[in-house]
Structure 1
Amino acid sequence: MENVLLVILLILALALIAIVLMQRSEGGGLGIGGGGGGGVMSARGAATALGKVTWGLGIAFLATSLAMTIVSARNSAATSVIDRVGEETAPATTETTPAAPGLPDVTDLMPPGSNTAPAETPGDAPLAPPRAD
């Protein structure tokens, strides 16, 4: 449902952009004058029709945005990510992954006598900040 609303919202946004760009400039806000007439409809009639389409697309865009917000809120999880900060994670396994076939082991590429193994934590417990209980 969210995907359908998202597609409709994107189509409405593109249509709204196109309709606004087609409208005649009336205020000259950027110093660009409005173009002359010469169309099938009069300048006032075209402005009224495009204005109505703009209002309709704007209302549809707003309604679709509200619907998408409601649907997303219903589908969201009941808990926040912050609520899961204090939860215990699964202990890490000490198994090593085998090297890919045809590739040398990383330890074969190191110079002899180098010790690059990570330091182990006491009791193999993961490092974590102290709890604020």
Structure 2
Amino acid sequence: MQQVLIVLHLIVVLALVGVILLQRSEGGALGGLSGGGGVSGFLTGRGQANALTRATAILAAIFFATSMILAILAGANRAPKSILDTNAPAGAPAAPAQAPSGGVLDQLNRLQNQQTPAAPAAPAPAAPAPAAPAAPAPAPQQ
């Protein structure tokens, strides 16, 4: 049912956009491109304006109706949730097996102490001594 309403809603949206673009405006929309006759040649002037206005109103009413129905259907399919509801999902344990004590740094230190290195770490190589500064170049003579 919801998919049918979505398709109907999209068709109404496209028709509404088309009808709005066909209407004549002060700025000259697509309705002014056909030389004043509009897309339907049997309607002229005032009759065309009334028909397009009526079609716009009907399509707008259908658009709002389908929007409201889709919103109601979306809300009805959702289960109510409470912020205060603290029940855990069925597959999750009720409480953690061991509550960690201390902060994040304490936990990291514990993890680091639990790991035993396979080989002792080699000392880092010493940094090379800085090179002596170069002698200044002699000033050019004039």
TM class by shorter chain equals 0.5 to 0.7
Q: Residue type of the partner of 1:28?
A: G
Q: For residue 27 of structure 2, what is the aligned residue in structure 1?
A: 28
- Larger RCO: 1 or 2 (CA < 8 Å, sep 6+): 1
1:28-107 pair list within 5 angstroms = 28=27, 34=32, 36-38=35-37, 39-79=41-81, 87=88, 90=92
1:43: Cα distance to partner? 1.4
State the 1:40 CA deviation.
Answer: 2.4
**TM-score of the pair, normalised by structure 1:** 0.54
Give the conservation status (yes or no) of the 8 Å contact 1:12–1:61: yes
What CA distance in whole angstroms lies between the structure 2 residues aligned with 1:2 and 1:22?
Answer: 30
Equivalent position of 2:12 in the other structure = 12
State the shift of 1:22 in Å: 1.3
**Map of 2:103 onto structure 1:** none
Relative to structure 1, is the Cα distance of residues 5 and 33 closer, same or farther in structure 2, using a 3 angstrom cutoff? closer
The residue type paired with residue 37 of structure 1 is: G
> Quick check: 1:5–1:64 contact (8 Å CA) kept in 2?
yes
What stretches of structure 1 of length at least 5 have no aligned partner?
Answer: 92-118, 123-133
Q: Unaligned 5+ residue runs, structure 2?
A: 94-110, 115-142
When Rg is computed on C-alpha atoms for both structures, the one with the higher figure is 2
Letter in 1 for 2:65: A
Distance 1:83 1:9 in 2: 37
2 CA distance for matches of 1:90 and 1:55? 53
* Alignment coverage as a number of residue pairs: 91
How high is the TM-score relative to the length of structure 2? 0.51
